[in-house]
């Protein structure tokens, strides 16, 4: 942990102690920076044989994220499971109200909880961090808590920035990985979630990212927000002028009647601004 300040080192010590309070854990591993760090920390604290990683497979998970999650878990020597979840069977999720994440997380834990029991693993651990618990737009946290999931990062007081700093110190490939919320988070509230809609978003983001890279625009954070007939593109703020000046690049986004670029650039949770 060389190079880390005393405060962060103390939090990492608390994280290790919290994980060691369990004989084993099943990590709800989305592949993002937070859950990846929980997985790596659990391996350090308990050893790989006492840790299981599980990545839920559904239309809301981009296909490339699943493969990246498998590789990360394999590198840590952790057994990786990819159970299927069926959010579409939950009317509250499909309706896509402001409580959508509650229904999504309830479905996730209804699958991962029994999986942990069958495997003889300990509790399900999520990647919820200290920033998440003070965000009023996090109904999924309530669902996870009701299902008995544990939150090692939040319990140790680790923020998103601290997770990234510690991940760099540990040499994790996810340290600077852009935020990758589920595809349903791109859909404007009130528009029903469907596999076709999520597939359209996944294709649009994949194609636009490829077109931007081919045009010499190295983008980190990119979202295609589904507003119904319109798509609203968010990219790193410094790249907005360049993208606006390259309509042929923006044309990579298909499947919508019109496409616009958000002048403010990428903002995590921007759909909540008018919710």
Instruction: Based on the fold, state whether residues 142 and 241 are members of the same structural domain.
Output: no
Distances 102 to 4, 208, 221, 263 between C-alpha atoms, Å: 35, 30, 25, 30
DSSP state letter for 239: G
Residue 180 within a domain: no
The CATH number covering residue 205 comes to: 3.30.70
Final residue in a domain of this structure, among 137, 170, 203: 170
Q: State residue 132's pLDDT score.
A: 84
Q: Give the Cβ contact number of residue 196 at 10 Å.
A: 10
The model's pLDDT over 133-143, given as tens digits with 9 standing for 90+, comes to 876 656 677 77
Q: Is the pLDDT of residue 160 over 90?
A: yes
Same domain, residue pair 190 and 113: no
Tokens of 139: 């109904």
Asked if residue 177 belongs to a domain, the reply is: no
| pTM across the whole model | 0.89
pLDDT number for residue 135: 64
In the chain, the number of structural domains is 2
Kind and range of the H or E run holding 12: helix 6-20
Residue 24 lies in a domain: yes
Strands (E), 18-127: 25-28, 51-54, 79-81, 124-125
- 94: in domain: yes
Q: With 90 as the cut, is the pLDDT of residue 147 above it?
A: no
Could you tell me if 29 and 154 lie in one domain?
Answer: yes
Confidence of residue 90 (pLDDT cuts 50, 70, 90): very high
- Residue 79 and residue 23 share a domain: yes
For residue 80, pLDDT beyond 80? yes
Q: Which of 135, 170, 205 is the last residue of a domain?
A: 170
Say what the pLDDT of residue 275 is: 47
1 falls within a domain: no
Residues 43 and 147 in one domain: yes
Q: What is the pLDDT of residues 217-261, one digit of tens each?
A: 999 999 999 999 999 999 999 999 999 999 999 999 999 999 999
CATH code (residue 74): 3.40.50.620
| Helical pair 6-20 and 33-46, crossing angle rounded to 10 deg | 70
Q: Which domain holds residue 53?
A: 6-170
Query: Are 97 and 135 in the same domain?
Result: yes
């Amino acid at each position: 942990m060389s190079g880390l300040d005393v405060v962060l080192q103390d939090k990492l010590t608390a994280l290790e102690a919290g994980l060691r309070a369990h004989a084993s854990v099943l990590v709800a591993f989305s592949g993002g920076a937070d859950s990846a760090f929980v997985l790596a920390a659990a391996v350090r604290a308990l050893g790989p044989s006492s840790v299981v990683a599980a990545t839920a497979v559904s239309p809301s998970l981009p296909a490339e994220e699943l493969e990246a999650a498998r590789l990360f878990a394999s590198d840590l020597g952790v057994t990786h499971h990819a159970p299927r979840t069926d959010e579409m069977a939950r009317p509250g999720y499909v309706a896509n109200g402001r409580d959508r994440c509650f229904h999504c997380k309830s479905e996730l834990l209804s699958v991962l909880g029994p999986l942990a029991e069958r495997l003889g693993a300990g509790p399900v651990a999520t990647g919820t961090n200290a920033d998440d618990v003070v965000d009023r737009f996090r109904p999924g946290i309530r669902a996870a808590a009701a299902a008995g999931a544990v939150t090692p990062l939040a319990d140790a007081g680790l923020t998103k920035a601290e997770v990234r700093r510690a991940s760099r110190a540990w040499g994790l490939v996810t340290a600077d990985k852009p935020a990758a919320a589920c595809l349903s988070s791109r859909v404007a509230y009130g528009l029903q979630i469907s596999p076709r809609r999520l597939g359209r978003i996944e294709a649009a983001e994949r194609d636009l990212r490829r077109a931007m890279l081919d045009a010499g625009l190295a983008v980190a954070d990119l979202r295609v927000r589904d507003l119904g007939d319109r798509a609203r593109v968010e990219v790193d703020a410094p790249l907005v002028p360049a993208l606006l000046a390259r309509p042929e690049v923006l044309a990579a986004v298909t499947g919508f009647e019109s496409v616009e670029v958000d002048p403010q650039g990428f903002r995590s949770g921007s759909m909540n601004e008018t919710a």
